[in-house]
A = this chain, B = another copy of it.
Amino acid sequence: MIGGSGRSGNPLVAKLSRFVLFSREEIGVLEALCANQERFNAGVNLAEEGDPTRPGFVVTRGLACRCRLMADGRRQILTFLIPGDFFDLHAFLLRSMDHSIITIAATRLATIPRNKVTEIAARYPRIGAAFWWSAMQESAMLREHIVTLGRRNARGRVAHLFCELVWRQRAVGISEDHAIRLPLTQLDIADTLGLTAVHVNRVLQGFRREGLITLVQRRLQLHDVRTLQDVAGLTPDYLHLAGAPAESGRYLDRLERREAASRERAAGWC
């Protein structure tokens, strides 16, 4: 199962803690956001292109993707949503969904009512800042995806995707070594990377022959990360997982003061 947990037990907390070390109270707030979980099977449409925008979600287990379905039936997967990812907390600012969200494996989600998001961001500015950080990080991944599709060949694309998925899962404490559960079909991979399933297959054959990976029974293992990174032409920390820059320390300090003030006025909200 892809779902699961790291030390904190909560992938949302684990993810955002890469950016700020939260207080016990803040952690409580984030954990409360993940209450009210719902389960979905694989292949379920959580949101459809053209729908009016919905409340936000946090993925707590499983795997889903954002994708765009083309008129001719082809599709393009835009990003994968793994545990700890929340999505569309602010999407209600847009008129409608410009893409669909579909589960790939069995998935658990917590729904987050709109007003709660704005309330929390107002009352716990450090959490609000973490939301911005996460949005910046997601943009960074989208930009990286553009580079992948625009300037990497098929081998580079696959290598890059695998490295990214492994790193992201390590970042939320799901994986320890260089192996992850990968419930993607070769067609899913192809639709992510702008290739065909046939060609993805041939690339995978090549990687196996060269001893770079094994991929059996939905389990992916990277044997030679260094070489894969070279193939992908990877920039080291594009996921910005190293945490907050020293620079933002001052900003967070300021937030802390503001937060303390607002906490006096309001009792705990949950």
Contact = CB atoms under 8 A, between A and B. Distances in A.
Interface string A122-153: 10000001001101111110111111011100
Interface stretch (A86-94, A173-181, A205-213): A86-94
Interface stretch (A4-12, A24-32, A64-72): A64-72
A155 interface: no
Main SS class of interface, A: helix
Nearest to A244: B93
A52 B245 contact: yes
Interface in A215-245: 233, 235, 237-238, 240, 242-245
Centre residue among A91, A146, A240 by max chain B CB count within 10 A: A146
A61 B66 CA distance: 34
A168 interface: no
Contacts of A37: none
Interface residues of A, number: 60
A95 B143 contact: no
Contacts of A52: 245, 247
Nearest to A157: B150
B139 A139 contact: yes
A68 B143 contact: yes
A76 B251 contact: no
A98 interface: yes
Contacts of A214: none
A201 interface: no
Contacts of A98: 140, 143-144, 235, 238, 240
Given A53-B245, A247-B92, A146 B137 contact: no
A169 B6 CA distance: 47
Contacts of A78: 143, 146-147
Contact of A245 (B96, B132, B135, B244): B96
Contacts of A13: none
Contacts of A150: 76, 149, 191-194
A238 B97 CA distance: 9
A170 interface: no
B248 A149 contact: no
A190 to B, nearest CB: 10
A245 B95 contact: yes
A151 B70 contact: yes
A166 to B, nearest CB: 19
